[in-house]
Structure 1
Amino acid sequence: MRIQVPDQSSGRLSDAWRFCVGTGRFELALRRDYQDSLALIQREVGFRHIRGHGLLSDGVGIYRPYSYQGSRQVRYAFTYVDQVIDAYLELGIAPFIELGFMPRELASGEQTVFWWAGNVTPPSSWTQWAALVRATIAHLVDRYGIDQVRGWPIEVWNEPNLKEFWADADQDVYHLLYEVTASAVKEVDASLQVGGPAISPGADEWLVRFADFVAQRGLPIDFVSRHAYTSGPAQHVPFGVHQTLAPATDLLAQFARPREQLRGSALDGLPVHITEFNSSYRPDNPIHDTAFHAAYLAPVVAGGGDLVDSFAYWTFSDMFEEIGVPTALFHGGFGLLTHRQIKKPTYHLYAFMARMGDQLLARGEDHLVTRDADGRVTVLAWAPVFPAAGDSHLLRLSIPLAGKESGPAFGLRSRVNEQMGNAWAAWNEMGRPLSVRPRQLETLREVAEPVRSHSQLSIAAGRVELDLVLDRHEVTLVEITAVKDETPPWWDDDRMLG
């Protein structure tokens, strides 16, 4: 059956998918490979904010207590903070600030999370914690200006519903943390955005209790945040895991849940930010590196903006060390890019979205069609992965080209699937080298690019009939532009050789 794409736009395509992207811990941004990767992704995708853990942890070095003449005092050092945020802004991306984790010398306990040992215990002094928050936010306002910083959302902690991220997963103590932190932020400037509770999946009851607490105490809150993942328990193998996955529609259901839960509450109508999402919550699951992953997430990236104000892919790069230094180039990392800037298939899903227009024409279970201000029509199509994918998938569209009743059109198709634009598959065929040689690295970069083809299409009655055969786990972008023929009258292809 051929799908008739409407002539008129049904509205603007949400760009909630590019509002924010995740990153490894804050100080990793000081590394060259990190900044090279971020520069690439900003050129070809262009995210607006970036969020990661560890701003207040010891690796960034803000909280520096000392004794002088018998008096204990604190110096707040922003040496690394300034370098990182300066680099972000130079690349056209701003922080989505996560306030965490606890500096060791301000912590009430020894519990840590991750290989890099972020402390996850409450502060030993709530007064000192509030002072740290005020000093950090005030420094940002002083350095970058209130007009800029009021556009940077400020989130209180990360996944406090999990005992791994907040001692005993004590919700009452988290509520106190939120109250002290949000109040300290607003003391700097009332126009700053603060929110939470950044809960992980499976803790929906936390959000309802959090909303009640904030309302009863009359606390400031400007947005609500949570995370979304669809993987089951980890099945461990050396240096990796395998997990079952729920259908990607479960991600969309998780996106929708905060608004459903908060309907009629004091927080009803607040912006909702999904500050982390992915299939697996593990940074060593090989599914992240595959063509399957791009096709799996395509309907989420195409449609998630109808449900939330933003949803941040976790993460932009494999520069990420929660469970230690990776042992291979492809290791199942969260990133859209590997170390050394090799593009994964899911990178191209985002790069394709960045090339689409903002006028929404059609959206279905396997396609998204848009138009831009110049009349260029773009089709994002994907082979569904649930139920189990076959060898190919046929999509037939009838597409309007505004202002042109007949004549030729130019079509450019970019493809990623099990064989095309798939560096992970090539790395497998190389024997999965743990340390790639320079020639292998260049080869992987080359084969990571989408396979592009072009053709002349026919416009009849203002429409182009487009038939797409998508291979297994394929994501395709087709760009269609009406042709203005400027061939001179003397041109004769038959005389190319004289």
Structure 2
Amino acid sequence: MIRVPETARARFSDAWRHCVGTGRIELALRRDYQDSLALLQRDIGFRHIRGHGLLSDGMGVHRPYDHEGARHVHHSFTYVDQVVDAYLAAGIRPFLELGFMPADLASGEQTVFWWRGNVTPPRSHREWAGLVRATLSHLVDRYGIDEVRTWPIEVWNEPNLADFWQGADEKAYHELYEVTARAVKEVDADLQVGGPAISPGADDWLVRFAEFAEAREVPVDFVSRHAYTSGPARHVPFGVHQTLDPATALLEQFAAPRQRLAGTHHAELPVHITEFNSSYRPDNPIHDTAFHAAYLAPVLAAGGDLVDSFSYWTFSDMFEETGVPTALFHGGFGLLTHRQVRKPTYHLYAFMARTGSELLARGDDHLVTRHPDGRVTVLAWAPVDATGETPGPDRHELHLSVPLGARGEAFVRRSTVDEEHGNAYTAWRHMGSPRSPKPRQLDVLHEAAEPARLHGRLPLEDGRADLRLTLARHEITLVELTPLTDETPPWWDERRLLGGEAE
């Protein structure tokens, strides 16, 4: 038995909810996207949202024209305003990523993704700086400087990869960063700008980025990095399969920036993991499974000790980097499918949203927190075998002595997700994996996505509840214990419900 201490170890970090990822931000103009975002914010409540494509052609911001023999640039914010308005109306703020390159400003034709984001440097850094200043000045004018100062501004995306930045040219990225950061600060010195938004395996970039910024006195307000644990993609039609490292590898990647930057000018800067997931592919079925929720549970429980934020990539399967999805469940990054079907990992986040602010205990399979009103929550998860060599244990036992600081009994509420409960993916497979479910089938899938729920009481001895949990394979469960005040009237007797006499 694990005896949970009465005194809180620390304040439990909610870095897990600071930001969430999205497909390119112009998707926010669609109804399904906005419906999904509303559900997400109701159940979880993220603070920021980050996606690609703010300056890509699909947003229509950069509009050059010739007049009287000279080149001019008109900046249009029609779509930007609609996207940001939709975010703010949903109670979430932008985490701005400046990219990709407008075609009429690009120095080349290299693009990435089905929607063709241009990844070449600007042919005019002066014009690029003007685009950055115009965009941020407009946002400040529309939403107010105090509001926009709360929106982190990241320069580009994964420039260490040739697919995302032509030639993975580090020197060219440094030049872009310097021009961009100085343009940001010209709008307002207190706007937050940072980078380099590198992918896993490129941490040497962090050190050289710090050396470059210090030597050139370039402003850097935060450092950003991405984290994934999957191996090379093994392709099948409209999907991939990959090996996975243990989830602890994600925590090791979270820790890397501060380890690498120790002793540098950037050692004390905030660190934002602006993308993380198991697989880096938007067509890997692992994302849809109960395994995935149990795999990531220890990351959400401990990640806030290492970084200021870690942003799940992404909140919705409305995501088109490899093309329009071919089925409702297709291995998409999203916590939600199209049509707002909740995945097991969605429920992991929804459970996290019900945890308390005081950290009482944390282990390899549990997280215990307390709310200011005395409620105690236990998030527990079954261990998984990331190697795939075994299916993982059928049953996992957890025995806790939980302090409630009260007498009598505790009300117990348990919510569970596993292979058979809160798992629409399993139901979808049972019904034959329909690519485009009919309305009645969608109703069944929404029903199947509901977690199992149990309610009961536990006696308290010396202010403690003896909590014994048996978890099924790949289960995550949230147990909420509340000190009970019994207001049952003295004449109430269940034996008299059908008119009988009490003994």
Q: Smaller-chain TM-score range?
A: over 0.9
Q: What is the CA–CA distance in structure 1 between the aligned matches of 2:472 and 2:490, rounded to whole Å?
A: 41
- Counterparts of 1:243-254 in structure 2, within 5 Å, are 243-254=242-253
- Counterparts of 1:96-495 in structure 2, within 5 Å, are 96-386=95-385, 388=390, 389-402=392-405, 404=406, 406-495=407-496
Question: Tell me, what secondary structure is at the counterpart of 2:58?
Answer: coil
RMSD between aligned residues: 0.6
Q: Which amino acid aligns with 1:120?
A: V
Q: Which amino acid aligns with 1:377?
A: V
Q: Which amino acid aligns with 1:159?
A: E
Q: What is the CA–CA distance in structure 2 between the aligned matches of 1:488 and 1:280, rounded to whole Å?
A: 55
Q: What's the offset of the Cα at 1:231?
A: 0.1
Q: Which amino acid aligns with 2:356?
A: G
Q: What's the offset of the Cα at 1:493?
A: 1.2
Q: What's the offset of the Cα at 1:67?
A: 1.4
Write the deviation string for residues 309-340 of structure 1: whole angstroms up to 9, x where unpaired.
Answer: 00000000000000000000000000000000
Question: Tell me, what secondary structure is at the counterpart of 2:208?
Answer: helix
Q: Which amino acid aligns with 1:391?
A: D
TM-score normalized with structure 1 length: 0.99
Write the deviation string for residues 225-244 of structure 1: whole angstroms up to 9, x where unpaired.
Answer: 00000000000000000000
Question: Tell me, what secondary structure is at the counterpart of 2:320?
Answer: coil
Q: Which amino acid aligns with 2:7?
A: Q
Q: Which amino acid aligns with 1:453?
A: L
Q: What's the offset of the Cα at 1:74?
A: 0.8
Matched, 1:33 2:36: no
Q: What is the CA–CA distance in structure 2 between the aligned matches of 1:75 and 1:413, rounded to whole Å?
A: 56
Q: Which amino acid aligns with 1:213?
A: F
Q: What's the offset of the Cα at 1:490?
A: 1.2
Write the deviation string for residues 455-486 of structure 1: whole angstroms up to 9, x where unpaired.
Answer: 11111111000000000000000000111011
Q: What's the offset of the Cα at 1:71?
A: 2.0
Q: Which amino acid aligns with 1:468?
A: L
Write the deviation string for residues 46-99 of structure 1: whole angstroms up to 9, x where unpaired.
Answer: 000000000000000000011122221111000000001011001110000000
Q: What's the offset of the Cα at 1:386?
A: 3.3
Question: Tell me, what secondary structure is at the counterpart of 1:326?
Answer: coil
Alignment correspondent of 1:57: 56
Q: Which amino acid aligns with 1:281?
A: Y
Q: Which amino acid aligns with 1:38?
A: L
TM-score normalized with structure 2 length: 0.98
Q: What's the offset of the Cα at 1:262?
A: 0.3
Q: What is the CA–CA distance in structure 2 between the aligned matches of 1:204 and 1:322, rounded to whole Å?
A: 25
Write the deviation string for residues 407-459 of structure 1: whole angstroms up to 9, x where unpaired.
Answer: 12110100000011000011001110111000000000011010001111111
Q: What's the offset of the Cα at 1:21?
A: 0.1
482-491 or 195-204, larger mean C-alpha shift: 482-491
Alignment correspondent of 1:8: 7
Q: Which amino acid aligns with 1:85?
A: V
Structure 2 gaps of 5+ residues are: none
Write the deviation string for residues 179-233 of structure 1: whole angstroms up to 9, x where unpaired.
Answer: 0000000000000000000000011111111111001001101000000000000
Alignment correspondent of 2:84: 85
Question: Tell me, what secondary structure is at the counterpart of 1:29?
Answer: helix
Structure 1 gaps of 5+ residues are: none
Q: Runs of 4+ in structure 1 displaced over 3 angstroms?
A: none
Q: Which amino acid aligns with 1:445?
A: H
Q: What is the CA–CA distance in structure 2 between the aligned matches of 1:139 and 1:300, rounded to whole Å?
A: 38
Question: Tell me, what secondary structure is at the counterpart of 1:196?
Answer: strand
Length, aligned pairs only: 495
Q: What is the CA–CA distance in structure 2 between the aligned matches of 1:408 and 1:209, rounded to whole Å?
A: 59
Q: What is the CA–CA distance in structure 2 between the aligned matches of 1:180 and 1:149, rounded to whole Å?
A: 20
Q: What's the offset of the Cα at 1:115?
A: 0.1
Q: What's the offset of the Cα at 1:26?
A: 1.1
Q: What is the CA–CA distance in structure 2 between the aligned matches of 1:77 and 1:306, rounded to whole Å?
A: 41
